[in-house]
Structure 1
Amino acid sequence: MRRFSLKVTSERIEGCQVALTVEIEPEEMSKAVEGAYRRLANRVTVPGFRKGKAPRAMLERHLGKETVDAEALDHLVPELYDRAIQQEAIDAIGQPDLKIVQLDPPIFKATVPVRPVIELGDYRSIRVTPDKVEITEENIQEALERLRRLYSTWEPADHEARMDDMVIADITGEVEGKEIIHVKGSQYKLTADSTVPVIGFAQQIEGMQPGQTKEFTLRFPDDYQTPELRGKDCTFKVTVSEIKEQHLPEVNDAFAKSVSEGVETVEQLKERIRENMRAAAERDARENLEARIMEEIVKISKVEFPAVLTENEIVHLAEERLRSYGGMKFDDYLRIRKITAEQFKEELRPIAEKRVIGSLVLNKLHEVEGIQVSEADIDAEIERIIKESGEHSERVKEIFKSPVARDSLRGRLLTQKTLDRLVEIATGSGSASPSAPAEEPPPAAEGT
């Protein structure tokens, strides 16, 4: 079939898209209609004829010309779209929105998402001061107290229920004659600020004795998480079978040995705690510093990108959310949250847009700064990961034999190297300080 130069007009429109209008040549359409007749003849039964044997005129009379033309265009338009973007040298990054806008002559319009455009601001002038990391004696004592509670035991108490005690109880609750709570042998810790199942419940149990039963009424708040219970009275019945009190271990050398391997004394335990807390605080401070720097760079940069990137990111965020709920099914998650799919999507949209913008700006920054990750960098990081994997080291080795795993690691290293460079610039440290010569970023460039 002779190929024609397509009649195409293209226009850049907002949202990082290109609008293509393509007029289909009569000969192209004629060939497409012939193909449509052949396909339809093999699929459609015309009374009085075997499949594939009905004359064209009979088939057209049976189906209607509109059906045949629609079949032809369904096959022809995608082919002509591919030729059109090649002819116009359009770098599409997603599926087009295709619409037939005229039938005689046939004309279709394609709205095509194209690569983002990122204009970096003067990021080398940004200054951000790192947060100071300080671990105080009070922090150490708080950590020790948490360890004591973690290794505490619950022993039967010979007094009435008090705040911070644990009660074992059968609990029922009724609202408007309907039972909404029914648990036996529930372990309930009394805390003054508890809101479970409702504010004031713990105070009602306080002072009860084992074997005692008590009935009382409490009202659910107007903003209660379950809409059908908001502002309604609930009648509770509680029977306490046992009261336990918490016994905290004494902080001594024996305790220190039991809670941390390789520690012999309380002082060594405190030093271990200090080291761990400092390492965690420094990681948090570094992540916060990187986030603040990126936030400042994004503020002074201009980013234009197609909506499809946000839509794709919303899908990824939704998948992450469901995984965080143990792989919960989408419909179950919506039912529990009492929201629609559209509401969930709009809830994720601002997060998705922020992620997309941050990623595009970061990609442009590593391009402008000339950041690269070598195979030696990847090998060194794999070795580090293997050493920290302990008994799983062989499995980790197998994972990183995959090109996909190596590419994923390359991406993470590229991100971290770029962030390291930005920290050097923003804090005025290292070889990448603003005084060092560097290529000026172009005023505007298409994203990668």
Structure 2
Amino acid sequence: MKISVRNLEPTKVKLTITVDPEEFNPYLDAARKEIAKQVNIPGFRKGHVPGKIIDQRIGFAAVAGEAVNNGVPELYSKALEEKKIHPMSQPEIDVQEVPESAKDETKLKFTATVERRPDIELPELDGLEIDVPKAQVTDEDVNNRLESLRQRFGTLVGVDRPAAKGDFANIDLDAQIDGESVDSQEGVSYELGSGTMLDGLDEALEGLSAGEETSFNSKLQGGEHEGEEALVKVKVNSVKTEELPELDDDFAQDASEFDTLDELKADVRKAAERDAEGRQATEARDAFIAKLEEGAEIPVPKGVKADMLEQQLKNVTADPSKATDEQKADAEKQVVKELTDQMVLDALAEKLDVKVSQADVTNFLASIAQQYGMDPSAFIQAIVKNGQLGSAVQEVGRSKGLLAGMRAVTFKSEGETLDLSSFLGEAAEDEESESVEAASAAAAVADELAKKDDENTADAE
């Protein structure tokens, strides 16, 4: 097999693959056998028709077509492996020459245009030191956690006064465009100052009492009129304020298994310290990846980037074409970062010769299935059917490579060496490790499957 590679872009190549007859003949023979199983020819048992008879009765063109369909993907994969090209997308295949008969010496020739991972030079890990901020817990952190706990035990009490920041107002909303109502909600509980609904709502509500109403202009945040300016009428049905329990021993006993507030505070501090160490491990991971990318200009495949950007904008707004310049810029920044990190971690896994076993992938997918309450076998079969198995393998490889790489370097904080073994595990213990990206990818598939099941159920009813 002769392979020529033409670089079209830093991340795009065109392979021209010419296959010698002796390498293509096995695919022709396999095609003849497959066709023989499907046809009835007088004088021969089904599945036992000689190849020459298949060529005569069915036609060599049909045989060659079957052979090309089965052979080109395998031959393409061999070419990628031989030329050490790492594809980032599905190829555009163009079959240019095919033999017209069994005696035709014309060689199978096809081209494959594909976006690829660029060559990435990674720094040597031996002796590499990476600084990470110190994991700190302040009294303010502890007090904030205690305040959150208080709020869980708080109660709402009606008040006969104008609404103020921090109050909870029960409101009715009616959004109108050109005098026509396009969206309305009744009995919505809203915390003033939270900024979780329409722009301008906080200012409109502040100072209103129960029974009063007002209106304001705002851009709608969702629905078919998302992004359009509307006149929003709001009515206050009631105003309530939150009453919190006193921070004392009685509260500690009600809110926890501890008898005193001091014991509760000590436990809260320990929890804060564990969380701080977890954040430090996350910061170490991010610093490690940043170190791998430091000073490198890593181009991203344009087509892959465009597809991911479109999907990212769909997650931000119902109509990507109406996305603001700021939304587009933020989405592009996220996509470029995600793609760059993926390619760098792929290169790292390759550099460290990371192996992904069937058990790695099976255990990972089984754990995702359990999170969604799905049968592991059925979930794995669905992953394979949906063409997601390769992505799962790749993500597990990235995760294992990331852990192995982080174990190979030294992390320090204010001059002291950090022990991240509780987060990184031992080299032999990362078989069941998961990456956030892998979990997200598999979870997305599970969501899609669940959606399809719901649709099928609805159709059946």
Is TM > 0.5 for Structure 1 vs Structure 2? yes
* Alignment of structure 1 residues 169-188 onto 2, 5 Å: 169-188=171-190
Quick one: which amino acid aligns to residue 285 of structure 2?
A: E
Which residue number corresponds to residue 163 of structure 1? 165
Q: Give the root-mean-square deviation of aligned CA atoms.
A: 5.7
Supply the distance in 2 between the matched residues of 1:303 and 1:173 (Cα, whole angstroms): 47
**Conserved 8 A contact 1:365-1:418:** no
Which residue number corresponds to residue 51 of structure 1? none
Q: TM-score normalised to the size of structure 2? A: 0.57
**Conserved 8 A contact 2:349-2:398:** no
Supply the distance in 1 between the matched residues of 2:159 and 2:299 (Cα, whole angstroms): 66
Distance 1:196 1:269, change over 3 A: same
Matching of residue 75 in structure 1 with residue 70 in structure 2 = no
CA offset digits 1:16-59 (Å, max 9, x no partner): 86724326769x89x969x89x969x89xxxxxxxxxxx99x99
Supply the distance in 2 between the matched residues of 1:87 and 1:230 (Cα, whole angstroms): 49
Which residue number corresponds to residue 343 of structure 2? 357
Supply the distance in 2 between the matched residues of 1:430 and 1:160 (Cα, whole angstroms): 53
Supply the distance in 2 between the matched residues of 1:173 and 1:415 (Cα, whole angstroms): 49
* Alignment of structure 1 residues 215-226 onto 2, 5 Å: 216-221=214-219
Supply the distance in 2 between the matched residues of 1:248 and 1:154 (Cα, whole angstroms): 9
Identical aligned residues as a percent: 14
Distance 1:236 1:99, change over 3 A: same
Q: Residue 132 of structure 2 aligns to a residue in which SS?
A: coil
CA offset digits 1:332-354 (Å, max 9, x no partner): x67962138xx999787524422
Q: State the shift of 1:178 in Å.
A: 1.6
Q: Residue 99 of structure 1 aligns to a residue in which SS?
A: strand
Q: Residue 128 of structure 1 aligns to a residue in which SS?
A: strand
Residues 228-237 or 283-292, more deviating: 228-237
CA offset digits 1:219-238 (Å, max 9, x no partner): 225x9667846563515151
Q: State the shift of 1:197 in Å.
A: 2.7
Matching of residue 245 in structure 1 with residue 241 in structure 2 = yes
Which residue number corresponds to residue 142 of structure 1? 144
* Alignment of structure 1 residues 21-170 onto 2, 5 Å: 21-22=17-18, 69=61, 72-76=64-68, 78-79=70-71, 82=74, 90=82, 97-102=92-97, 105=106, 107-111=108-112, 119-124=121-126, 126-170=128-172
CA offset digits 1:125-166 (Å, max 9, x no partner): 644222122222222222222222222100122333333222
Supply the distance in 1 between the matched residues of 2:345 and 2:279 (Cα, whole angstroms): 20
| Bigger CA radius of gyration | 1
Quick one: which amino acid aligns to residue 217 of structure 2?
A: R
Q: Residue 186 of structure 2 aligns to a residue in which SS?
A: strand
CA offset digits 1:242-268 (Å, max 9, x no partner): 32211011000111122223x221111
Distance 1:348 1:77, change over 3 A: farther
Supply the distance in 2 between the matched residues of 1:289 and 1:116 (Cα, whole angstroms): 26
Quick one: which amino acid aligns to residue 238 of structure 1?
A: K
Q: TM-score normalised to the size of structure 1? A: 0.59
Quick one: which amino acid aligns to residue 269 of structure 1?
A: L
**Conserved 8 A contact 1:17-1:306:** no
- Any gaps of 5 or more consecutive residues in structure 2? 40-52, 100-105, 322-327, 364-369, 381-388, 420-461
Quick one: which amino acid aligns to residue 109 of structure 1?
A: F
How many corresponding residue pairs?
356
Which residue number corresponds to residue 259 of structure 1? 255
**Conserved 8 A contact 1:172-1:238:** no
Pairing partner for 1:416 from 398, 403, 406: 403
Supply the distance in 1 between the matched residues of 2:12 and 2:281 (Cα, whole angstroms): 34
Which residue number corresponds to residue 233 of structure 2? 236
Distance 1:422 1:9, change over 3 A: same
**Conserved 8 A contact 2:64-2:98:** no
**Conserved 8 A contact 2:14-2:113:** yes
* Alignment of structure 1 residues 360-399 onto 2, 5 Å: 360-364=346-350, 366-367=352-353
Supply the distance in 2 between the matched residues of 1:174 and 1:195 (Cα, whole angstroms): 20
CA offset digits 1:388-411 (Å, max 9, x no partner): xxxx9xx9xx99xx9x99xx9998
Matching of residue 286 in structure 1 with residue 281 in structure 2 = yes
Which residue number corresponds to residue 440 of structure 1? none
Supply the distance in 2 between the matched residues of 1:363 and 1:248 (Cα, whole angstroms): 52
Pairing partner for 1:297 from 292, 297, 301: 292
Quick one: which amino acid aligns to residue 348 of structure 2?
A: L
**Conserved 8 A contact 1:122-1:300:** no
Which residue number corresponds to residue 197 of structure 2? 196
